Structure 1
């Protein structure tokens, strides 16, 4: 972990920030930004499905392209499935550029290259409005999807920080899609201030910014005075992250964590639960959200610091995937996010206490040191996992079949 010296990412003053909850809040604002665009739409998403949300997104993007807007859409080759010819033709005919980050053919129906995915969810319209968060363009983020509908968050941004996000996306398009060559401007954007929030945009990559998002979390934990409230879908962070949480609780900070109680992947819950005893022993409060799968990646510290983004707190997000979060200093925004999370805690979460966490078997005294050794070392070990130079390919519809020769 590097020290707390000069920041690579600047805080931008004077931004408007609006919290968006679930697909009901996010999709309406995303489509409105697309519909209002006159020059350019840049969009990245980990998952795009050909369901009612994906088809609606396509309709809005195609309409924008038909009125002369430049539309650039990038999806991840692992997160998004193969698209139908009809879906691709509709984009191509309208002039929408659909790119796939690191595409690879499936093998026996399985998508390979799990590691180092483009997990970001970013949208910028006319370099004026940006949306950042954890919500994909898929119907499982809507409540009418049923019991498996995901609980998640995003933000809409307007103001000087949008120039950073826009510059990042432009650089990612111009290079290999990773965005690791982007550098924020030394001076704040000339964009007029539209609100009261200070916002910092922080991407994570596998070259120069391996711990950028984790570093901001830990910086805030060490400065916390009264409260840390963290809600994250996949929680299995490194040793230093856990140590900073425990030390905050031990010096009197109220530390509350919300994890999945009804996970979409059981291994995620098992990994988080393996850490419960370690956290509870330090006075950390743990809650499991049990209404439906929790997909959020948000946190609050005291009354003036918050984060929303795509980054989970597990080895994939913290050490391998390409991620992007915004960090926000604004009491009004923090109060709104706290109100939403308090509703979850009071109505849909189950508290975890020492009586519900088994002490474990005698062999756990031997395996626990191994677990924490892994937690201490996995950021360095991540570099040993299969790696290659990622590519971004333009998705094209299959060529029409060659016409048959006319009969003699």
Structure 2
């Protein structure tokens, strides 16, 4: 049986009572009914209902029980070789065989789905590695929420890397969905992890990321149709450099939603004066990759997020008010990035009624106070 499906464990026994009770009720009523009333055709509902939650063996057993019940009714009322009852028995046997094959097909598909979930989980662990809770003088928390309940990865991404002077963090969102978005996310993450500690200047790092993304989109070896489809592909990203010994952070924003800064109960946007275009669009617009500095004092929390958070709608079509909710939590004197993201995750899912329309990711970074 497929793990977690109602066909395994205690829930199956509870549900199994329904078709068995149906067989008993139809059999008793059919025996007591007038000769002109025939309820035998209703017995086919028992294996049909069983096939919706149980495997082929259980469905076949319930079908056999229904056939036996029909045979008992035939013997009690007339004879098992009676033409009417014979046709009912043949029909019931054929329908039971049909729904049993349906149950086998459904169970096979569920087993394949379970395997796909396992592959998705493994892929997520490889592509989107968990961020460390402590890195240098920083405390970090992250959360990834997939829009599709059967998928665990998508085009949202984040990563952190140490350098000799501090910590670098990237968060991004690939335009589009599906395997291509996952591939683009893996490409950018691999480039960031490979170059973050080698590029001394943040502008040089983002230039390298831009070159990596653009060269992949312009791959001449790609099929013509794929190249045309990829022409509109790009990645929004925010790349941050946080020095260990300086209460500052340096930010380059490539078309990504601006981070939030939480400081002593107040929330502000880290909006750069000269935002760069998303990665992969340099051939269409001029690009300025100058990093801008912001104060990032001890005890401050920087919140990075993807547009799946701020564009999440409730049933009335209202966007999720992230800055307002962060400010509310600031008033409650929250303790650390883990507590902040735990609250925002719960609040966001409550806002959308438990189902996101797009993947969403958040990373919270706190600069720890100097040790006394």
TM over 0.5: no
Structure scoring higher RCO (CA < 8 A, sep ≥ 6) equals: 1
The structure whose residues are more often helix, as a share, is 2
TM-score (norm 1): 0.19
Which has more strand, going by share of residues?
1
Q: Flag the structure with larger Rg.
A: 2
